[in-house]
Amino acid sequence: MPQTVISARDLSKHYGSGSTRFDALTGVNVEIVEGESVAIVGKSGSGKSTLMHILALLDSPSSGALDIDGSDASSLSGSQLNRLRNRTFGFVFQQFFLTAGASVLENVMLPLKIARIGSRERKRLAREALDRLELGDKAGNKAMNLSGGQKQRVVIARALVNNPRIIFADEPTGNLDTATGAVVEDMLFSLNRDQGITIVVVTHDEDLAARCDRRIYIRDGRIVESLSSEHTLDGSEVAA
């Protein structure tokens, strides 16, 4: 039986109060199991990125319960949350968030530096991650000198360097052309298929969402539909 790695119950998130209050999420329930790929789908402003930020411990809900691998997130201290996030999650965002003037290797090593891994081990692990993304020859290059597709592959290498159980990808191909975006998508789904890394993708792209095992549709801060997909041998899809 697949293990539940994230369980969210009755999550709500609001900003402001009184007449200026804005409800970004209302009564959201989500379970994510080990090894699946899940798309959180919605238009701009639907609440999908807010939900991902809460699930990834980048933000906290106004109310509701969130368990990560059986641990109640609300009971963890700030340092415990940081440690859990750094060791368990990898992040791939639409904006690359690379340090432009630093080398590719230095950018990939950042999560390991935060985790206080020794310098020699940091370099070894970062080079291994770059090799997996076929970027070993770019290790010494400045991040600013890479193409968009290369930058996103560096971001994926950085997400992989701490051997995460879950990768959160927020519009991971939004800044890429169609062909380069397809390459990046293939890399993410091969990590899910070949290494069993759980993938949570936030997107408004139905084609990207259709590649996931499950799609969660969100509108105005509420989940309105959840679909599982079964892929047939000829590549077509059946909603289960």
Mean pLDDT of the chain: 89
What pLDDT does residue 230 have? 59
C-alpha Rg value of the chain to the nearest Å: 18
Name the range with the highest mean pLDDT among 84-93, 144-153, 212-221. 212-221
Going from the C-alpha of 164 to that of each of 51, 140, 195, 232, the distances in angstroms are 20, 24, 11, 29
Per-residue confidence band for 69, with pLDDT thresholds at 50, 70 and 90: confident
| d(C-alpha 148, C-alpha 176), whole Å | 6
Q: Using one digit for the tens of pLDDT, what is the confidence trace for 113-171?
A: 888 899 999 999 999 999 988 899 999 999 999 998 899 889 999 999 988 999 999 98
The model carries a pTM of 0.87
| CATH class in words for 4-101+165-239 | alpha beta
Rounded to an integer, the average pLDDT of 25-40 is: 96
| d(C-alpha 233, C-alpha 240), whole Å | 16
What pLDDT does residue 236 have? 43
Least Cα distance to 51 among 167, 165, 168 occurs for 168
Q: Where are the domains of the chain?
A: 4-101+165-239
